[in-house]
Structures are given as structure tokens and as C-alpha cells.
Amino acid sequence: MSAKNNINIPFPKKPYRTHGGVHPRHNKTTAGVESVIMPPPEYVTISMNQNIGADCIPCVKPGDTVYLGQIIGDSDKYMSVPIHASVSGTVEKIIKQRDPLGRISDAVVIKSDGLMTPYPNLKADNPQNLSELTDTVRQSGLVGLGGAGFPAHIKLNVPEGKDVDTLIINFAECEPYITADHREALENSWDVFSGIYAFKDIIGIKRVIIAIENNKPDAIEVLKRIADNPTYDPDDLVRILVLKASYPYGAEKVLIKACTNRVVPEGGLPSDVGCLVMNITSVSFISRYIKSGMPLISKRVTVDGSAVKEPKNIIAPIGTSVKDIIEFCGGYKSEPKKLILGGPMMGVAIADDSEFIKKNTNAILAFDETESSLMRETACIRCGRCAQSCPMLLTPPLIEQQLKLNNLDELKKLGVMNCMECGCCAYSCPAGKHLVQMMRNAKAKLRSVK
Ligand code: SF4
Ligand code: SF4
């Protein structure tokens, strides 16, 4: 069961053991509903902060005519990707915008002309080496579409001396409610394979594992059928690895362990253990970009929750307001008491629906009173469930203790910086303790003394 192309790296027959994790209700109610393309809204507000790393600087000014896919912001910093117009129209203004985490960035407001006229200079591409590939992917504006927003070209730029043999396609989509990747796999399954084949030789990939949770049987069937077809997988390079649904399988380090039994060292990267992990929608986007030259200008977003009238996946221009998207989904059926950008475990709560979607927004959730009440926090009862559920083997009560004592050396020893803020500890805590916030505070404390 090994790949044909030279080195004999066997595929795993089943996932390797990982630590911790929790099993929240899946609530994937939109999985069976075809995505709907949303017409351009009257205005889009496109933040210049769309990725982990540096903000872009607007390169357009009020009054400029812009076209779909035209660059409207860029940066010369390493950790950055250009930002493109998601509608054609006229730049109305450039504003300062505060995001839900309190960061202030420029944002370009475009009044749509409703025509979605493409920028005339867009062209297909065919990268032949690593430098061309990373340049192409940077120009596409791609950031990790699973939610992290890491610039994709940096991920693909495997450091010299690192031998990456395994590409893991992250199709866990383990957060409750979110089905955006699920719809991508069903609606654009061929693109996933042509995306893999577009860059696997350039990186030197020897095997590709599409890791998918078992709550997506239709997608498993479709992808298996393609992987078994020599027309689409001529090098017999791709296997589907079915994971028993558990949160947070989608976390990079957890997924690498499950697929390869390799452990990324503290502070290390997947390439340190010969792996490259890419979200499934990101890979199929690369395939489409290479063929069409149309950069990342829209996003599939799962709209769901007890307060939404017509839950569905919509494909909306980046910079569309949450309000416009909810209206497109029939509006609210009850008063929303909690709004979240992203999933219920790792998403960001927003005060109201005046926020705008970004490249890495994969869900908008609106909950009514019944599903939004917070448990009252009480004293720790030393039950240990938080530590049992932590995929990174951390012990939140000990960390909390050392944080209160301001003991930075001990915080470091306890591995605080390994916390990926997945929320498993808080989810399993019977005392309702706000453990993720506590972990964020501990990380911030350590960062402040670096
Ligand atoms: S939030 Fe951090 S401490 Fe809590 S379970 Fe996740 S990794 Fe562990
Ligand atoms: S799960 Fe909650 S109550 Fe139990 S040990 Fe952890 S912090 Fe304490």
C-alpha cells in the first residue's frame, strides 16, 4: 500500500492515537444543502488585515474605479499577501476599522456597480519551480481558508534542508455547525486533485493523505472514487484517511499525529517532521487560480444557529457585512443573543452584525436566548477533566496557579505556549471556568517578557 513514485512510505491503515479531545454535538445541518452564490451587496468593506502577519497598505484612493480581482492593498513585509477588490465599482472611502479582537486597521469601502466586471489583466499561470509557485500563490491572495489565515505561500515555501514527504489535506472540519469545506469537497471535488497535482512535484511530495471525519460519508465516497481513478490520481499518490469525529482533529499538530504518528516539537513547524498541512478548500482554490487567474475574492460561509431563519452555505464577496449575509438567509427568526464569526469552539464573538467577513471567515452563527447563556463560574473541584481533554497534554489548574503567582519560569516549564486555544478544557470543565481566557492571559504574560 505504498505510493508508486520511488520512496516507500506506507499509508496509515487507520489513524494513530492522539490525546484528549471532546465530542460536542455536530449540528451539521447545512451539509446537505447546495451552496448559494450571493449577489454583490451595495457596499463591501475590505479590511487590510486579512492574514496572520502584516497589514496591507491600500493602493487605491476614494473615487478610483476598481475591477473584480484588482489589487487594492499590498505590503512589502514577508508575512503578507495582497488583497483584491471583491466587487467592481468605485472606492467610496478608506476608513479605520477595529476588528472584534480590538486591532485597528485600514479598510477599503467599495460601492459596487453590480456588474462584477473582472480586472482585464488577470491571467492563468503554470508555476514550474518553488520560487514561481510561492510567487503565484502569494499573488492569488490565498491565506489558510480553514480559519487560521496563515499566508499559504509561506507554508508552501518549504525551508531548505527540510524534506517534506507527506502532504496532509485537512478535511476534518471538526467544529460544530461548519460545513463550508464539506460543500467544497462535494461541489468541487476534481479541483482538490488537480490542486494536489499542480504542486506535489515542486515540493517533492511522496504521499498525500486526505484526512476526513466520519461524519461526512458522502464526501468520503466521492473523494475515494476519484482517488481510486488512475485518470485523476495517476501516481497512486492519494489516500483517504477516515477519522472518528472528534474535536479538535483539525488542529495541525493533532492531525499530523493522527496521520503519521509524528510529533511536532514545541515551537516547531510541520516541516520539522516532514509534513505540509493544507486545508482542502485552499488546495482546490489553488487549482482554480492557476487555471483562471482570478484571485481570492469570495468566501463560502456557513450561516447557521438557532436565530437564523434559513441556514445555508453562501458564497459571498469578501468584505460583505454580516447583516447583508443574514438578510440573504431570510433574516433572524428570533432575537440573536449571541453572534459568532467562526465556530462555537474557536470563533470570535461579535457585538452586532455590523462586522464584515474576511478571507478566513468560515461561519457566521447566530444564537437565540436558549443557546447563548453562559454557565456561572464556580471554584475548581480538581476533577482533572480539563487535563484529560487537552490535546497538548497541558494542565490548566496548575497553569492558573502559577499565573496567579506570576511565576514565569514555571509557566514556561508547564508548556503554556503550546496551547492552541482549542477550548476543550473549558468545554469539559464542570465548574464553568473560563480556562481559554486564562490560557490566553498566561501566553500574553510570557510574550510580554520576551
Ligand atoms: S485551550 Fe489550551 S489548555 Fe485548553 S485544551 Fe486547548 S490546548 Fe489545552
Ligand atoms: S475541569 Fe474545571 S473543575 Fe475540573 S480540574 Fe479542570 S478547572 Fe478544575
Question: 199-234 pLDDT, tens per residue?
Answer: 998 998 999 999 999 999 999 999 999 999 998 888
Ligand nearest to the CA of 438: 1
Task: Give dist(CA 76, CA 165) in Å, integer.
Answer: 31
- Report phi then psi at 193, rounded to 5: -75, -40
> Of all protein residues, whose CA lies closest to atom 1 belonging to ligand 1?
421
Task: Give dist(CA 298, CA 359) in Å, integer.
Answer: 7
Residue at 126: amino acid letter: N
Confidence of residue 384 (pLDDT cuts 50, 70, 90): very high
Whether residue 400 is contained in a domain is answered as: yes
- Report phi then psi at 440, rounded to 5: -60, -40
Whether residue 180 is contained in a domain is answered as: yes
DSSP 266-288: TT--GGGGTEEEEEHHHHHHHHH
Q: What is the 87 CA–ligand 1 centroid distance (Å)?
A: 39
- pLDDT number for residue 375: 73
Number of domains in the chain: 2
Whether residue 373 is contained in a domain is answered as: no
Site of grid cell 460536542? 24
Q: Report the pocket of ligand 2 as residue ranges, CB < 6 Å.
A: 380-386, 396-397, 428-431, 433
CATH number for position 169: 3.40.50.11540
State which ligand 2 atom lies nearest to the alpha carbon of 382. Answer: 5
Whether residue 369 is contained in a domain is answered as: no
> Of all protein residues, whose CA lies closest to atom 6 belonging to ligand 2?
386
State which ligand 1 atom lies nearest to the alpha carbon of 420. Answer: 7
Do 391 and 286 belong together in one domain?
A: no
Do 281 and 409 belong together in one domain?
A: no
Do 138 and 270 belong together in one domain?
A: yes
Q: What is the 15 CA–ligand 2 centroid distance (Å)?
A: 29
Q: What is the 418 CA–ligand 2 centroid distance (Å)?
A: 19
Pocket-testing residue among 266, 424, 438, ligand 1, by greatest number of atoms within 8 A of Cβ: 424
Percentage of residues in the chain having pLDDT higher than 70: 98
Do 142 and 287 belong together in one domain?
A: yes
State which ligand 1 atom lies nearest to the alpha carbon of 390. Answer: 5
Q: What is the 415 CA–ligand 1 centroid distance (Å)?
A: 11
Lowest mean pLDDT among 35-49, 62-76, 95-109: 95-109
Mean pLDDT to the nearest integer, 2-14 = 67
Q: Report the pocket of ligand 1 as residue ranges, CB < 6 Å.
A: 389-392, 394, 396, 419-425, 435-436, 439
Do 277 and 394 belong together in one domain?
A: no
- pLDDT number for residue 1: 34
Q: What is the 426 CA–ligand 2 centroid distance (Å)?
A: 8
Q: What is the 383 CA–ligand 2 centroid distance (Å)?
A: 5
Among the candidates 260, 292, 324, a domain finishes at: 292
Do 389 and 287 belong together in one domain?
A: no
Query: 419 lies in which domain range?
Result: 385-448
Residue (of 373, 448, 384) closest to 417 by Cα position: 448
Task: Give dist(CA 240, CA 42) in Å, integer.
Answer: 42
Mean pLDDT to the nearest integer, 111-125 = 94
Pocket-testing residue among 22, 376, 377, 386, ligand 2, by greatest number of atoms within 8 A of Cβ: 386
Q: What is the 52 CA–ligand 2 centroid distance (Å)?
A: 32
Check pLDDT > 90 for residue 166: yes
Check pLDDT > 60 for residue 5: no
Residue 131 three-state SS = helix
Do 150 and 263 belong together in one domain?
A: yes
Among the candidates 292, 307, 326, a domain finishes at: 292
Confidence of residue 93 (pLDDT cuts 50, 70, 90): very high
Lowest mean pLDDT among 19-28, 264-273, 323-332: 264-273
Whether residue 396 is contained in a domain is answered as: yes
Residue (of 388, 390, 449, 384) closest to 419 by Cα position: 390
In tens, the pLDDT along 389-400 reads: 999 999 999 999
Do 283 and 166 belong together in one domain?
A: yes
Do 280 and 405 belong together in one domain?
A: no
Do 395 and 266 belong together in one domain?
A: no
Whether residue 438 is contained in a domain is answered as: yes
- Report phi then psi at 135, rounded to 5: -65, -45
Q: What is the 448 CA–ligand 1 centroid distance (Å)?
A: 20
- pLDDT number for residue 47: 97
Residues 6+ apart with CB under 8 A from 271: 158, 159, 162, 164
Pocket-testing residue among 19, 434, 435, 439, ligand 1, by greatest number of atoms within 8 A of Cβ: 439
Among the candidates 292, 317, 334, a domain finishes at: 292
Whether residue 160 is contained in a domain is answered as: yes
Do 274 and 401 belong together in one domain?
A: no
Do 137 and 271 belong together in one domain?
A: yes
More confident residue, 174 or 8: 174
Ligand nearest to the CA of 424: 1
Whether residue 365 is contained in a domain is answered as: no
**According to DSSP H, which parts of 188-232 are helical?**
189-203, 217-227
Alpha carbon of residue 50 to chain centroid? 12
> Of all protein residues, whose CA lies closest to atom 4 belonging to ligand 1?
425
Q: What is the 380 CA–ligand 2 centroid distance (Å)?
A: 5
> Of all protein residues, whose CA lies closest to atom 8 belonging to ligand 1?
390
Pocket-testing residue among 382, 399, 419, ligand 2, by greatest number of atoms within 8 A of Cβ: 382
